[in-house]
């Protein structure tokens, strides 16, 4: 971590990119080929790529960690937290690209579909999107027709957190770790009470808040340099190697483990703890096997990861039209290699252009709200 007038964690951008790549794999291997879609190997492959949605869990944990750390630092150096400035910084970072996605989904793509004479039910209520409550719209009306809109549910939950957390941090007399643990406990209880309601378990704010609560707790530990911080920062290399080595093993045998609704309630918390450890290890460990920030291209792509996340479903949609028109192959090679690689390339190009020519000029205004 670099401490200047601005706190900067050197290795987190690379982690952001890996989290995006995980989500990308979950969304980017599709086919209409009847033989491939029914093939047992493709079905098994899809089950593993679907685990890529865990990248969303990682983003939630990371948000809890960073926002808590930065708010505590502000209170330390400024003696108080400026909620107005915090909101202004979040608006400048999140809103421009978010509302651009709304324009693309509700206006541009809607017009294109109508122009092509394709009938469909958009099943997306604009009011929910304007109020950052997309996750509740999905619970009520299911995932919208355009995935460009569907993925915005995660941003909505983060915005809900950004609204509430600085106020709680500022006015609450409770300690941050106690508040964070209460959030985790309430989230687990909420999932238990809605055990048979899949959409609520996956999309409801109270259900996923355990990730943010875990991240917030780790943010407090990291900032306060508690005894637990000292122990975690000195974890030996062999233990770190075991943790990282266990991840591919868990993924490989994930579908062979017994699963139940009750087990799924706890599973999200366990993944959250793993992701919190990874964030801490990369930021503060004295015995890291490797710091991902050294990989410069990953660091750069992590810097534009917000765009990567927002644009990747648009890229998938564009490339998918070429597949349907027969321009791109729909066989094994196209499904597993050509289509996803081209989609990733288009996503990166769109995100780079967006970051440098659209987002960055707006981000420069953040200097007025330090």
Per-residue pLDDT reduced to its tens digit, 172-215 = 756 889 999 999 999 999 999 999 999 999 999 999 999 999 99
User: Which of 223, 227, 183 shows the shortest CA–CA distance to 207?
Assistant: 183
* Residues 3-19, mean pLDDT to the nearest whole number: 83
Helix (H/G/I), strand (E/B), else coil: 3: strand
Higher pLDDT, 8 or 274: 274
> What are the tokens at 65?
């960690």
pLDDT of residue 343: 96
Per-residue pLDDT reduced to its tens digit, 227-281 = 999 999 999 999 999 999 999 999 988 887 777 777 778 999 999 999 999 999 9
Per-residue pLDDT reduced to its tens digit, 111-160 = 887 766 666 677 899 999 999 999 999 999 999 888 899 999 999 999 99
Judge residue 247's burial from the number of C-beta atoms within 10 Å of its C-beta, 0-12 exposed, 13-18 middle, 19 or more buried: exposed
pLDDT of residue 355: 97
pLDDT tier for residue 340 given thresholds of 50, 70 and 90: very high
Looking at the chain, the whole-number percentage of residues with pLDDT higher than 90 is 68
Q: List phi, psi (to 5°) of 351.
A: -70, -40
* CA 292 – CA 294 distance, rounded (Å): 5
* Residues 345-366, mean pLDDT to the nearest whole number: 96
Residue boundaries of the structural domains of the chain: 2-369
Say if CB 197 and CB 230 are below 8 A apart. Answer: no
pLDDT of residue 4: 46
H/E stretch holding 7 reads strand 7-8
* Residues 85-113, mean pLDDT to the nearest whole number: 93
- pLDDT exceeds 90 at position 14: yes
Q: What angle do CA 226, 232, 237 make, to 5 degrees?
A: 160
pLDDT of residue 6: 65
* Residues 90-106, mean pLDDT to the nearest whole number: 96
For the chain, what's the residue count? 370
Residues contacting residue 40 through CB under 8 Å, at least 6 positions apart:
none
pLDDT tier for residue 161 given thresholds of 50, 70 and 90: very high
* CA 245 – CA 22 distance, rounded (Å): 17
Report in angstroms the alpha-carbon separations of 182 from 14, 88, 157, 262, 342. 30, 28, 18, 20, 44
Q: Which contacts qualify for 294-303: CB closer than 8 Å, 24 or more apart?
A: 295/14, 298/13, 298/14, 298/17, 298/18, 299/10, 299/13, 299/14, 299/17, 300/13, 301/13, 301/17, 301/20, 301/348, 302/12, 302/13, 302/14, 302/15, 302/16, 302/17, 302/20, 303/13, 303/16, 303/355
Higher pLDDT, 239 or 169: 239
* CA 368 – CA 83 distance, rounded (Å): 14
Higher pLDDT, 216 or 167: 216
* Residues 279-288, mean pLDDT to the nearest whole number: 96
* CA 202 – CA 213 distance, rounded (Å): 16
- pLDDT exceeds 80 at position 87: yes
Say if CB 147 and CB 343 are below 8 A apart. Answer: no
């Amino acid at each position: 971590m670099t401490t200047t007038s601005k706190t900067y964690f050197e290795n987190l951008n690379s982690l952001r990119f890996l989290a995006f790549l995980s989500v990308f794999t979950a969304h980017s291997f599709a086919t209409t080929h009847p033989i491939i879609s029914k093939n047992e190997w493709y079905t098994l492959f899809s089950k593993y790529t679907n685990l890529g949605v865990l990248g969303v869990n990682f983003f939630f944990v990371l948000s809890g960690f960073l926002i808590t750390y930065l708010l505590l630092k502000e209170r330390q150096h400024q003696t108080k937290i400026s909620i107005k400035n915090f909101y202004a910084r979040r608006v400048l970072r999140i809103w421009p690209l978010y509302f651009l996605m709304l324009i693309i989904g509700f206006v541009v793509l809607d017009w294109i579909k109508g122009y092509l004479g394709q009938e469909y039910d958009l099943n997306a209520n604009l009011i929910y999107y304007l109020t950052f409550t997309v996750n509740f719209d999905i619970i009520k009306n299911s995932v919208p027709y355009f995935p460009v809109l569907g993925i915005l549910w995660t941003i909505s939950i983060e915005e809900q957190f950004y609204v509430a957390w600085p106020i709680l941090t500022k006015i609450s007399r409770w300690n941050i770790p106690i508040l964070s643990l209460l959030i985790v406990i309430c989230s687990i209880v909420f999932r238990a009470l809605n055990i048979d309601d899949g959409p609520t378990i996956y999309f409801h704010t109270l259900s996923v808040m355990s990730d943010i609560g875990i991240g917030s707790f780790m943010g407090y530990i990291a900032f306060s340099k508690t005894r637990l911080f000292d122990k975690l920062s000195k974890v030996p290399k062999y233990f770190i190697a075991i943790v990282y080595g266990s991840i591919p093993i868990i993924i490989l045998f994930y579908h062979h483990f017994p699963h139940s609704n009750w087990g799924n309630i706890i599973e999200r918390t366990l993944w959250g703890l793993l992701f919190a450890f990874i964030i801490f290890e990369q930021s503060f460990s004295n015995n890291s096997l490797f710091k991902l920030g050294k990989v410069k291209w990953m660091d750069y792509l992590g810097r534009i990861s917000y765009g990567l996340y927002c644009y990747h479903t648009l890229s998938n949609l564009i490339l998918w039209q070429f597949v349907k028109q027969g321009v791109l192959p729909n066989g094994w090679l196209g499904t597993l290699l050509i289509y996803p690689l081209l989609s990733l390339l288009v996503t990166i190009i769109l995100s780079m252009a967006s970051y440098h020519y659209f987002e960055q000029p707006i981000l420069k205004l953040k200097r007025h709200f330090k």
